[in-house]
Amino acid sequence: MNRKHTRALAAGALMGLAALPAFAADTASETELRELIRQQAEQIRLQSEQLQALNQRLSALEGGAPAAAVADAPASPASPADPVQAQVDAAVAQTRQDDLAILQAQVAQLAAGGGGGGDGNVRWRRGGPEFRSADGEFTFHPRGRVMADFSSTRGSDFDARNINGTEMRQVRLGAEGTMGPLGYKIDADFADNDVSIKDAYLSWDTRLGGLPAEFYAGNKLKDRSIDGATTLTRTPFMERNAVASVGSSQSGYFGLGAQMKLIGQNWHYSLGITGDDLGNAGAESDALTFTTRAHWNPVKRPAGFLHLGGWYVHEDFGADVESINKVPRIASNFNDNIRVSASSIADVTREEAWGAELGGTWRNFWAFGEYARRTIHSSTVDAVDHAASSVYAGWLITGEKPGFSARSGVWGTTRVSRPVTDGGIGTWELAARFDRYDFTDAPRGGEGDAWTLGLNWYLNDWSRLMLNYVRWTTDNQVGAYQGRDSGNTVNVRAQVVF
């Protein structure tokens, strides 16, 4: 065999090696690609051995030594003076470097595509991962929240009210996502060693009359009052205000049914037709609830806006609702003994409730006032009114804008300019609120009020620490804690939401 023939064999082998990566990159799936890369490495090793054997045979023929003896002899490095072997070694080394570069590029491409298989990506959203397809049409976002509270009460004339302790206010896991204009959300709550479903609905984003519109089917928070329509993780205080509590319909904050929202440039309108939440066992008919709310921003500037709003609820009770005795907690969710009693109303049939909202934001300040009146009808006694009012304001000490959504008229996420996780000081907020509970329209209805001073420290967009001091007063006419009583409650919360 002559030198020219050997060089042709080597060139053919190298051309075959060079063609393998391109073929794998163009035609193979991810699984096939990995197998081809493994085969390529093995092929490189075999071709290298063959080239070394060919070169040894060539050297043996040129030197007159028997080919078989040379082939059986151990391979030794070629002399630096051998130009053929040097070219072959350089070609093999270059091929291996090219293969490594191709492999690195393929790994980088897989990483950029979110792990391969879908050409999508993963991004972090509010502390959790969101999986997104390459065209953005499909998303999946795991959700969760942990809210751990501590509460301590002193100063009451009743020893049973002077208690302290801890509780997991909310522990939720769930998911949300989109499929084009369609969306979904589901949250399961595990607080108090009990599992319950909260949000569980499908949504559809579209346009109606040229305006953005949102439609929902399932179990969802009703759009009623500012705090009542806001998830608890975003309200500026640890508990919702008196208007949200007293103005709540008998079926609760959530309702299973259909809701819609129409959004204008500086206003929104919502309408919902719902029954009970997911707790109805199916033995009786659901309550039937109609809820509507609207807000308008007559002034809307980059520095702030003015908010005007109102809402109305009508509910026909189901057969399982025979009487109503409103007794809201007014100091903390933990302390079950500090309540205002409205006195029981028997043989109830239906109710109406309405509310008004006024407030706004300016730079790093915010202030709102709300009022609610609920009328409960009975087949045996006169209708009874429950009333509540709430006035509250806040100041973001570190200069951020308030986390209030002018688009929907509810509390949103407070955007932290200097997160603690990035070496900053986070966002600090000082807030104050006055709540009034008035059930005196009933013959033995009570009344109460609460002053709350709050300090919030937002570590980043998805975690915060909260401190609330509540000075409360109750005057109940029925129950275990009758007469005028007052006290002081301190509440602390650590919260993470993703």
Contact 230, 408 (CB under 8 A): no
Position 127 confidence tier, pLDDT thresholds 50, 70, 90: confident
Share of the chain above pLDDT 70, in %: 76
Over range 70-95, report the average pLDDT: 54
DSSP secondary structure, 123-148, as one string: EEETTEEEEE-TTSSEEEEEEEEEEE
Closest by CA to 403, choosing from 355, 464, 343, 342, is: 464
Domain ranges within the chain, ordered by starting residue? 3-112, 130-497
Per-residue pLDDT tens over the stretch 4-33: 444 443 344 444 434 434 433 444 444 555
Which residue did the predictor score with more confidence, 258 or 26? 258
Residue of 118 and 245 predicted with greater confidence: 245
Contacts 24+ apart (CB under 8 A), 206-211: 206/181, 208/262, 211/262, 211/263, 211/264
Write down how long the chain is. 498
With cut-offs at 50, 70 and 90, classify the pLDDT of residue 283.
Answer: confident
pLDDT in tens, 190-225: 988 889 999 999 999 999 999 999 999 999 999 999
pLDDT in tens, 289-299: 999 999 999 99
DSSP assignments along 261-273, one per residue? EEE-SSEEEEEEE
DSSP symbol at 329:
B
- Mean pLDDT score, 310-314: 98
> Between 380 and 41, whose confidence is greater?
380
| Tokens (6 digits) for 263 | 């959004």
**End-to-end Cα distance, the chain:** 72
Residue 174, pLDDT above cutoff 50: yes
CB 278 within 8 A of CB 219: yes
Mean pLDDT of 310-334: 96
- Rounded distance between C-alpha atoms, residue 113 and residue 110, angstroms: 5
**Mean pLDDT across 163-169:** 97
- pLDDT at residue number 1: 46
With a cut of 80, say whether residue 159 has pLDDT above it: yes
pLDDT tens across 476-488, in order? 999 999 999 999 9
Q: Reply yes or no on whether the pLDDT at 164 is more than 60.
A: yes
- Core vs surface per residue 318-335: b (16+ CB within 10 A) or e: beebeebebbbbbbbbbb
Residue 98, pLDDT > 70, answer no
Q: β-strand 463-476 against 447-460: which pairing, if any?
A: antiparallel
Task: Return the higher-pLDDT residue of 305 and 70.
Answer: 305
Q: Report d(CA 169, CA 191) in Å as an integer.
A: 6
Contacts of 370 (CB under 8 A, 6+ apart): 225, 226, 227, 241, 243, 355, 356, 357, 358, 389, 390, 391
384 within 8 A of 418, measured Cβ to Cβ: no
Arithmetic mean of pLDDT over the chain:
85
Q: Is 110 exposed, middle or buried (0-12, 13-18, 19+ CB in 10 A)?
A: middle
Work out the number of other CB atoms within 10 angstroms of the CB of residue 290.
16
Instruction: Work out the pLDDT band at 106, boundaries 50, 70, 90.
Output: low
Mean pLDDT confidence for 170-197 = 94
- Are the C-beta atoms of 429 and 415 separated by less than 8 Å? no
Q: Which fold has domain 130-497?
A: Porin (2.40.160)
pLDDT attached to residue 284: 81
Q: What percent of the chain is predicted at pLDDT more than 90?
A: 70
Assess whether pLDDT exceeds 90 at residue 258.
Answer: yes
| Rounded mean pLDDT, 252-268 | 97
pLDDT, tens digit (0-9, with 9 covering 90-100), for 429-451: 999 999 999 999 999 999 999 99
Q: 277 in helix, strand or coil?
A: coil
